[in-house]
Amino acid sequence: MDIRTNIPLKQYLTMQIGGTARFVTEVHSAEDVRTIVTNSRKEGVPFYILGGGSNVIAPDGRYNGIVIRNCIMGYEEIAEDKDTVTVKLGAGEVWDDFVKRVTRENLIGVEALSAIPGTCGAAPVQNIGAYGQEISDTLTELEAFDTQTDEIVTLSNDDCKFRYRNSIFRTEEQGRYIILTVTMRLYKGSPMPPFYSVLENHLKEKNITEYTATNIREAVIEIRANRLPNPAEKPNAGSFFKNSMVDKWLVDDLLQKYPDMPHFDMGGRIYKVPTGWLIEQCGLKGKLLHGIRVNPANALVLINESARGYSDLAQAREAISKAVSEKFHIHIEQEPLELA
Ligand code: NAP
C-alpha cells in the first residue's frame, strides 16, 4: 500500500480549505482496511476515512494522522424479483455514476438523488436526501469494518438508525465503522407523484407528463444546476448548514411576525424551517464574508471565493449563525463534518 507523507488536503476537499495530512493512503479492499487500521493502531497514529471529500472541511494546520481514501470499487446485481433489483456497491463508487446507471435501466428509488456529489460509502453517513427521497428509503444493508472488534459486520437499515440527514455514523458511532459496501433495493416501475413542488413545477414548465426515472433525473439535474454551484467551478461543500428543526411554539411565534416563513411538519410538534430562507431574511444571500460567498441562488451553500483558510470560513460561519440566532432565536447547525 502506497503511503504518502505531508500531503495538502485541499485537493481532496471540494471546499478547497484545509492544511496538510501527515499521511495519505488509499484502500481498495476490506483487507487493505484491516491492514491499515491494525498498523495505525500499532503505531498510535489516528486515521480518518475520506470518500469524495464533498462534505468535509479541514482546519488549516497539520492533521497528525493518516487520511484513508476509500477507493473500494464494485457494482453487482445480487438479486432480482418481479418488482425489484438489488445492487451491491463498493463504498468508493461515485454516487452519481450509480444513480445514472440505474435510472438508465429504468429502476426507481434514487432518481431524485441525482447529482449529489460524493461516494456511495459516504452517502449513508448523512443519509443523503433530496426532493423527498433519502438513501434510507432504498438501502437495505451495508458492510463495514468494525474498528472496535476488527470484524467485518453487516448492518441492517434499522441498525444504521437513519434520521433526517443523520445516522449512527455521524453521531453515537462516529469513527467506529469503515463502510465497505452498500446494498440498495431499487424498484421496477415509474416514479409516482406527488413530487416536491419545485420538481412538479419544473415538470409542468417542460411539459413532461410521462414520469420515468430518466425524466425525473434530468429535471433534478437541471434544477440543481441552477441552485447549487458545481464544486469543480466554485469550491463548496454542498449545503453548509442543515435545515433547522424547530419546536412548534417557536414556529407559531415566528409566524406571527413572518407569516410567509416556509415550514414543514415533521411530526412530534417539530417543524423543518429551511435554513437558506432564514439566512436570506438576514440579508446575507449573495454577500461576501471573509472571502466566503453566500450563494446568491441558495443561501444554504457557502462558496470559497477567496478565503485565506479555515479561520476565514469559521468567521463567516460565525457571522451567519449569529445573525440568524439574533433575528429568529434559532441555532443553525453545520452540515459538513470536520477532519480532526
Ligand atoms: P429548496 O428547493 O430551496 O427548498 C428549501 C427547503 O424546503 C428544502 O431544504 C426542503 O427540505 C424544503 N422543502 C421544499 N419542499 C418541501 C416539501 N414538499 N416537503 C418537505 N420539505 C420541503 O432546497 P435546496 O436547498 O435547493 O435543495 C434542493 C434539494 O436538494 C433539497 O431536497 C435538499 O435537501 C437537497 N440537498 C441535499 C443535500 C444533502 O443530502 N447533503 C445537499 C444539498 C441539497 P429538504 O432539504 O428536507 O428536502
Give CA–CA dist 191/174, Å, rounded.
34
Atom of ligand 1 nearest to the CA of 243: 9
Separation of 274 CA from ligand 1 center, angstroms? Answer: 8
**CATH classification at residue 201:** 3.30.465.10
1 — pLDDT class (breaks 50, 70, 90): confident
Separation of 61 CA from ligand 1 center, angstroms? Answer: 33
Same-domain check for residues 51 and 94? no
Q: How many residues does the chain have?
A: 340
Same-domain check for residues 105 and 190? yes
Which protein residue's CA is at the shortest distance from atom 34 of ligand 1?
A: 130
Same-domain check for residues 144 and 241? no
Quickly tell me which residue has 498510535 as its cell: 44
Same-domain check for residues 27 and 127? no
* Mean pLDDT of the residues in the chain: 96
Separation of 130 CA from ligand 1 center, angstroms? Answer: 6
Domain that holds residue 20: 3-70
What is the per-residue pLDDT for 238?
94
Residues noted as catalytic: 165, 239, 335
Give CA–CA dist 86/76, Å, rounded.
9
CB 272 within 8 A of CB 250: no
Residue at which a domain ends, from 18, 35, 70: 70
Which protein residue's CA is at the shortest distance from atom 36 of ligand 1?
A: 130
Render pLDDT for 269-297 as a digit per residue (tens, 0 to 9).
999 999 999 999 999 999 999 999 999 99
Give, in order, the Cα–Cα distances in Å from 290 to each of 35, 58, 172, 282: 42, 17, 33, 17
Residue at which a domain ends, from 70, 92, 126: 70
Render pLDDT for 36-67 as a digit per residue (tens, 0 to 9).
999 999 999 999 999 999 999 999 999 999 99
**Top mutation candidate among 243, 278, 295 for ligand 1, by most atoms within 8 Å of CB:** 243
CB 301 within 8 A of CB 229: yes
264-300 b/e with 16+ CB inside 10 Å = b?
A: eeeeeeebbbbbbbbbbbbebbebebbbbbbbeebbb
What is the per-residue pLDDT for 117?
93
Same-domain check for residues 186 and 154? yes
Which protein residue's CA is at the shortest distance from atom 45 of ligand 1?
A: 130
Atom of ligand 1 nearest to the CA of 300: 25
Atom of ligand 1 nearest to the CA of 132: 48
Please count the CA atoms within 13 angstroms of the CA of 274 that sit on its side-chain side. 12
Same-domain check for residues 209 and 105? yes
Residue at which a domain ends, from 227, 255, 278: 227
Total structural domains within the chain? 3
Pocket of ligand 1 (CB under 6 A): 116, 126, 128-131, 196-198, 227, 238-239, 243, 262, 264, 272, 274, 276, 298, 300
Which protein residue's CA is at the shortest distance from atom 43 of ligand 1?
A: 239
126 — pLDDT class (breaks 50, 70, 90): very high
87 — pLDDT class (breaks 50, 70, 90): very high
Same-domain check for residues 205 and 81? yes
What is the per-residue pLDDT for 289?
98
Which protein residue's CA is at the shortest distance from atom 11 of ligand 1?
A: 274
Same-domain check for residues 80 and 175? yes
What is the per-residue pLDDT for 340?
83
Render pLDDT for 310-330 as a digit per residue (tens, 0 to 9).
999 999 999 999 999 999 999
Query: DSSP characters for 218-261?
Result: HHHHHHHHHHS--TTTS-EEEESBPPEEEEHHHHHHHHHH-TT-
Looking only at the bridges linking them, the beta strands covering 20-27 and 62-70 are: parallel
Q: Report pTM.
A: 0.94
**Top mutation candidate among 264, 281, 298 for ligand 1, by most atoms within 8 Å of CB:** 264
Same-domain check for residues 206 and 174? yes
Q: Is the dihedral of CA 193, 198, 201, 203 positive or negative?
A: negative
What is the per-residue pLDDT for 253?
98
Question: Mean pLDDT, to the nearest integer, of 204-233?
Answer: 94
Same-domain check for residues 66 and 92? no
Give CA–CA dist 120/123, Å, rounded.
5
SS (H, E, C) 66-126: EEEEECCCCEEEEEECCCEEEEEEECCCEHHHHHHHHHHCCEECCHHHCCCCCECCCCCCC
* DSSP bridge pairs for 67: 24, 48
Same-domain check for residues 218 and 308? no
Atom of ligand 1 nearest to the CA of 130: 32
**CATH classification at residue 42:** 3.30.43.10
**CATH classification at residue 331:** 3.90.78.10
Same-domain check for residues 251 and 330? yes
